Structure 1
Amino acid sequence: MSDLGIMDAAPRRVPRIRDYYEAPDRRDTTLDRWAADLNGAFVAQGARWRAWRLRPILREMERHAVAMAALDDAGLQAEAQAARIWLRRALRDQTLSVAAAGRAFALVREAADRVLGLRHYDVQALGAWAMMRGQIAEMRTGEGKTLCATLAVATTALSGRQVHVMTVNDYLAERDSAEMAPLYRFLGLSVATVLEGQDAETRQSAYGQDIVYGTNKEIAFDYLRDRAILRLKPGNLNRKLDRILPADRRAAGLRLQGLPVAIIDEADSVLIDEARTPLIISGANPQQGGLPDTTFRRAMAAARTLTEDVHFRRPRGIRRIEILPDGFEALDRMADADLDRPDTDPAFGIPVIREHLVYQALSALYLFELGDSYILRDGKVQIVDENTGRTMPDRTWSDGLHQMVELKEGLEPTAENETLSRMTYQRFFRRYACLGGMTGTAQDAAWELWSVYRLAVAKVPTNKRDIRRFARDRVFLTTEAKWQAIAERTRALHAAGAPVLIGTRSINASDAASARLSELGLPHQLLTAAQDADEAAIVAEAGQAGRITVATNMAGRGTDIKLSPDALAAGGLHVILSERHDSRRVDRQLEGRCGRQGEPGRVEAYLSLEDDLMQGPAARRVAGLAKLLARAFGPGAAGWCIRWRQKQMEAAHGRMRRDLIDQDRGMGEFLAFGGELE
């Protein structure tokens, strides 16, 4: 049979031994967690050494480069079909030898050069090999992570393992899949994309392909839906028998084939930032026996009468409410007084319901801000993703919090939905047989990535030398003075023809920046919670000479900003940070928008002692010290206080994620007698 005939035929597949593969749930003891935390401190320090140890893959790849280049297209495709056999033979415990991986990398690189017109750099091969070894590759923004992933994805798929390629939004998943699909198809691999809004049949078909692109949220929620079916049909044998039953006697079809291999783009955002919120699937119908509106209204009214630091407090360094003993006594008195009223709400008289709803009401009043945590659109509360700055119209807060936010804004509370399944991101990702990822800012989270996921970080060098310049932070006493300085600096850069990207923390901050620029008559583009495709198009144009772009947290992440010749001559892209975020990693992500691939660029930070990071009871002491230093030595001396406060917030968020893991573990043990809630 000719080589072409081999390509026309459907690829031969070895039957799966496991019908739905997933790694067993890891049950860490207290001693295990202590050991992981201690070991994580050492693992975090070896990122550069770990990347250096990856270099043998380059020698193996070059050893096969000449032979691959000598093949014509048909020969290269025949080699890809042969690779399905020798890669499977070389696979041992989800790991390939460096010799087998190097040969496959040479094949994929040659195919990419012919099909896409793109040839992988050596540093991209290092990043791909790190991911295949179950590591997180830290690669500077602009180093071509999308192309880098194709080496790991194609090699893994050719070895007979399905690959889930995850990214942070639907636009990037669809874009990356479309751009790289010609390469995968040339190699005889099938590829599909899972997007929000697709029906179950379309998703089930997509999950049957060799390579599946999608967001972490969509794939995780599909897994939770599968778990509901797996609880009814436990055991590998039962699921295989189910396939041979008549159609009318089968259980509902599973969507995924299991959790084989995952490659995560922007891994720190997915594994760290988004891991503070559990995955919850609620019923489509309102919860049966749910609480009436009157109970929510009574709890909100009670919360409004409580006084901070008397009845409740906001603990230092934690975004949380604590009701104090005097607060519980005040609530008890309110419930007793309600007994004498004809319109008494019986549910408010139950302590556990009363205290929970008042806690949620206090959280809505003091922790969730309009224009930051949520916006109002079409008379509804829409959540703003704090990691991306985008709205999530199909998502609601659970446990009565959403209803309390609605009451806070004078809206009618919507009906509660019943929680059907619940799981943390930490437990979900640890069930993959093999997990790897890439991002530009993994080093700052190296300890947590190891202690939670057992993922080590490899710091891959840049292809070209980084020539960005960093200005010293400028700190102002007031927000007013800060925005005035930002506007004046932007006007000067605009006059010089330099492109400017102003990064903000919230929608409110973006509106403030836009108002200041408008006062000076400066034309600019404003990005807040727009659609992903429009957002990416605007960000892609941010590198034109004289262009001014204002963007919320991480807007347009994953989209290259290409500089025009005039912009390069003007010193490249100028990134202005208008305030520090809760995590240093998010600041680094914004800083990484300039200076890509050896291009010039400059980073400047304009900060204020009235920024969000310095607000709230937890920041009072730090803010007070900063003001004393500013008066004594000038505003610049207060800069280290802002960084100190940022470290406090990083530690607080880390504790919240750890608490979530413990809570999830405890819930699983509590429900073990009847099956876990997942």
Structure 2
Amino acid sequence: MSRGLLRSWRVPAFAPAVFPERPDGREGNVLDRLLAGLLGRWAQCTSRFRQRQLRRIAGRVEALAEELERLESEELRQRAAAVRLALLRDGLLDAHVVTCFALIREVTGRLLGKRHYLVQLMGGYALLQGMLAEMQTGEGKTLTALLPAVTVALAGVPVHVITVNAYLATRDANELAAVYGFFGLRVGLLVPEMDAADRTRAYDCEVTYCVNKDLVFDYLRDRLRYQRGLGGERALLREWLAGKPAGADGESLLRGLFYAIVDEADSVLIDEARTPLIISRDVADPYGRTLYEEALSVAASLDLGEHFQVRVRERSVELLPAGRAAITECAAGRGGLWAFPLAREELVEQGLSALYLFDRDRDYLITDGKVQIIDEYTGRVMADRSWERGLHQMIEVKEGLPLSDRRDTVARITYQRFFRRYLRAAGMTGTATEVAAEMRIVYGLDVLRIPPNRPVVRAFLGHRVFLDSERRWASVVERAAEMRAAGRALLIGTRSVKASELVSARLDAAGLEHVVLNARQDVSEAEIVRHAGQSGRITVATNMAGRGTDIVLSPEVRAAGGLHVILSEYHEAARIDRQLFGRAGRQGDPGSCEALAALDDELFTSHAPRWQSLLRRHFSSYEVLPDAAGSFLRHLAQSAAERQHSHMRRQTVIADLRAEKALAFAGTGE
């Protein structure tokens, strides 16, 4: 890394020399978090000023276009070599960055037939400055990320471009490889099935495209191999001085955490940050199936409200005094773990969780006789994940499946703690304004909204909250028939596999041909989304956030009014609703959207139950809540859910710090 670049990025002098990363700072107190939140909101207030700064930089880049267009390819290569030397020598000075962006723009136009728009140049410079750029769906975030990735890599700094799934990582790496190659840069690609040697080679490239979970797990594996602290770093240094190549013993090895560009940043840094990433090992279950069957039987005998409470918002159960007494009575005469109060209560709590909190086709699928967890934010199956502390085995017994081995935690880390360790991190997403304060508090990232390249002409047809689900689904089917008759393309968004299949059954009954995209069709999702813009096409999909494939409208659909999006149930975060609506009206295309929800949806029953009951009684003779009442209930419930999730993310970090100390005491850990 060049000295000039180090100066411009203000890398702390105490960053580890062998494995460059930022030290994991302490968790701030209430005052620290309040101040950081105010700074995040202040960044929103000054966004117009920052946009003008970015527009000036982008204008300087565009001013070089005519000159570069006249150059032959060899002359362009010479200019690229010259700017590389300048970046290595001086760091990220604006003059060098402007020239580099202009060269990237010209090369991309020649090799890919795509030339960066002014707003993409603005977004690229924001990423270079370590900001989170909010760019609307369809604004070309892939090409935007190319600008800072090439620039930073030419300055001698390894770059990680982090996406949410292997399809996007592969697509972007392959599509942009020619541009990177023109500048003499190697592109590495990390996908889950790669072996250790291939992973090491991918990390050794100047730019590496990877999936967020794979990257963090590789980091944890490296930290297990080289325990943090002086002894581990000395061992690593001795190997390097002895000429032993990285990964020579078959283990992957990151060169450090230098610069990260996170695509779909709100999904990675906010939505998925409620759960730590854990490396575990399989261990034979010493208790066997009988213990879990007994625990489930005891849990099923308890009465809700009398023996226990279910806190759906926190995804937890709480035993009441009567419940503890009932468990003690059931445990009488039984040996093993039943003889210990804390152990038997935890067993029964896990049994209650399996029965009351985790539903088939919402939280998990049964595939090939195995429980596979569904990612609640993307709707995808996480085949390699399992629940901790016997919950996974409890659900297997509940479903009558063979028992898998229990897993012991070896190392763990949260996304919050991991991404704070990059010397510089940046991100892109279509929706981040709502979480701007938290992005600043947790990651030190300022959110900056980048204007669209073309005005958005998407028509919003309003929100409707029906008194019950039956009327909502009838309205969805009715609207689907209207859109097909009009020659429009239709996307119906649902929150779960179960809901998507319920809609599918309703559409079948109405004789409306359609395609379903949920965790069962994970493999073919890109193909399904790509054809969702055809005339008369109806696509029913679970959460569309982060799917990353453009819905290309046919000429007939564009002429008929574009894609229409129906949100059939509100999400717990308003920005996820915006993500779904953003599938329509991309890049100036025509389109429309509407929300058709129901008063008995999970969002309202979990996060605003009293107001839900009050409105149901007050408007019992209505079919649809008045607009003002529906909007009020939605805002109230989503605000409560977002506060709760923010608190859970905070508690996840605190729990992770405690767990790390426990693991370190046991001789393992990060």
TM-score (ref. length: structure 1)? 0.91
Structure 2 match to 1:72: 72
- The residue type paired with residue 186 of structure 1 is F
Structure 2 match to 1:286: 283
Match of 2:530 among 534, 540, 555: 540
Structure 2 match to 1:7: none
* Counterpart contact for 1:51–1:130, Cα < 8 Å: no
Which has the higher mean CA deviation after the structures are superposed, 231-240 or 22-31? Answer: 231-240
Structure 2 match to 1:374: 364
Match of 2:106 among 105, 110, 113: 110
- SS state at 2:208 partner: strand
Change (3 A) 1:527 1:316: closer
* Counterpart contact for 1:242–1:250, Cα < 8 Å: no
RMSD: 2.3
- The residue type paired with residue 27 of structure 2 is D
Which has the higher mean CA deviation after the structures are superposed, 266-275 or 293-302? Answer: 293-302
Which has the higher mean CA deviation after the structures are superposed, 555-564 or 210-219? Answer: 555-564
Matched, 1:238 2:235: yes
Residues 396-455 of structure 1 deviation map (CA, whole Å, 9 limit, x = unaligned): 111211111112212233220221111111101111111001010011111111111111
Shift of 1:374: 0.5
- SS state at 1:635 partner: coil
Q: Using the alignment, how far apart are the partners of 2:400 and 2:605 within structure 1?
A: 26
Structure 2 match to 1:663: 655
Structure 2 match to 1:456: 446
Shift of 1:347: 1.4
Shift of 1:464: 0.5
Change (3 A) 1:247 1:86: closer
Shift of 1:532: 4.9
Matched, 1:592 2:555: no
* Counterpart contact for 2:68–2:103, Cα < 8 Å: yes
Match of 1:645 among 637, 642, 649: 637
Residues 303-322 of structure 1 deviation map (CA, whole Å, 9 limit, x = unaligned): 11222222221347433222
Shift of 1:109: 0.6
Match of 1:330 among 326, 330, 340: 326
Give the unaligned 5+ runs of structure 1.
1-15
Q: Using the alignment, how far apart are the partners of 1:532 and 1:185 within structure 2?
A: 32
* Counterpart contact for 1:298–1:348, Cα < 8 Å: no
Change (3 A) 1:250 1:441: closer
Give the unaligned 5+ runs of structure 2.
1-14
Q: Using the alignment, how far apart are the partners of 1:361 and 1:99 within structure 2?
A: 63
Change (3 A) 1:350 1:17: closer
Structure 2 match to 1:33: 33
Structure 1 match to 2:434: 444
- The residue type paired with residue 21 of structure 1 is P
Structure 2 match to 1:83: 83
Residues 208-254 of structure 1 deviation map (CA, whole Å, 9 limit, x = unaligned): 00111111011111111101011188454431211354879987644
Matched, 1:56 2:36: no
Shift of 1:664: 1.6
Matched, 1:383 2:373: yes
Q: Using the alignment, how far apart are the partners of 1:219 and 1:411 within structure 2?
A: 32
* Counterpart contact for 1:317–1:648, Cα < 8 Å: no
Q: Using the alignment, how far apart are the partners of 2:60 and 2:493 within structure 1?
A: 43
Shift of 1:672: 5.6
* Counterpart contact for 2:312–2:357, Cα < 8 Å: no
Shift of 1:37: 3.6
Shift of 1:192: 1.5
Change (3 A) 1:516 1:674: closer
- SS state at 1:597 partner: helix
Shift of 1:503: 0.6
Alignment length (residue pairs): 650
Q: Using the alignment, how far apart are the partners of 1:643 and 1:517 within structure 2?
A: 30
- The residue type paired with residue 664 of structure 1 is D
- The residue type paired with residue 178 of structure 1 is N
- SS state at 2:315 partner: coil
Q: Using the alignment, how far apart are the partners of 1:519 and 1:410 within structure 2?
A: 32
Q: Using the alignment, how far apart are the partners of 2:208 and 2:639 within structure 1?
A: 37
Identical aligned pairs, as a percentage? 46
- The residue type paired with residue 263 of structure 2 is D
- SS state at 2:620 partner: helix
Map 1:486-501; keep pairs closer than 5 Å. 486-501=476-491
Q: Using the alignment, how far apart are the partners of 2:620 and 2:367 within structure 1?
A: 43
Match of 2:398 among 408, 412, 423: 408
* Counterpart contact for 1:387–1:553, Cα < 8 Å: yes
* Counterpart contact for 2:464–2:596, Cα < 8 Å: yes
Matched, 1:275 2:260: no
- The residue type paired with residue 60 of structure 1 is R
Matched, 1:348 2:345: no
- SS state at 2:377 partner: coil
Change (3 A) 1:674 1:44: farther
Structure 2 match to 1:13: none
Structure 1 match to 2:620: 631
Shift of 1:644: 1.7
Structure 1 match to 2:299: 303
Q: Using the alignment, how far apart are the partners of 1:85 and 1:225 within structure 2?
A: 35
* Counterpart contact for 2:465–2:597, Cα < 8 Å: yes
- SS state at 1:471 partner: strand
Which has the higher mean CA deviation after the structures are superposed, 425-434 or 310-319? Answer: 310-319
Structure 1 match to 2:646: 654
Map 1:496-515; keep pairs closer than 5 Å. 496-515=486-505
- The residue type paired with residue 270 of structure 1 is V
Q: Using the alignment, how far apart are the partners of 1:555 and 1:538 within structure 2?
A: 15
- The residue type paired with residue 648 of structure 1 is A
Q: Using the alignment, how far apart are the partners of 2:619 and 2:537 within structure 1?
A: 34
TM-score (ref. length: structure 2)? 0.92
Match of 1:364 among 350, 354, 362: 354
* Counterpart contact for 2:534–2:557, Cα < 8 Å: yes
Structure 1 match to 2:611: 622
Change (3 A) 1:84 1:275: same
Matched, 1:228 2:224: yes
Q: Using the alignment, how far apart are the partners of 2:460 and 2:408 within structure 1?
A: 50
Structure 2 match to 1:9: none
- SS state at 1:314 partner: strand
Match of 2:518 among 509, 528, 544: 528
Q: Using the alignment, how far apart are the partners of 1:42 and 1:484 within structure 2?
A: 45
Q: Using the alignment, how far apart are the partners of 1:472 and 1:368 within structure 2?
A: 32
- SS state at 1:308 partner: coil
Structure 2 match to 1:605: 595
Residues 101-125 of structure 1 deviation map (CA, whole Å, 9 limit, x = unaligned): 1111011111111111110001001
Change (3 A) 1:328 1:49: farther
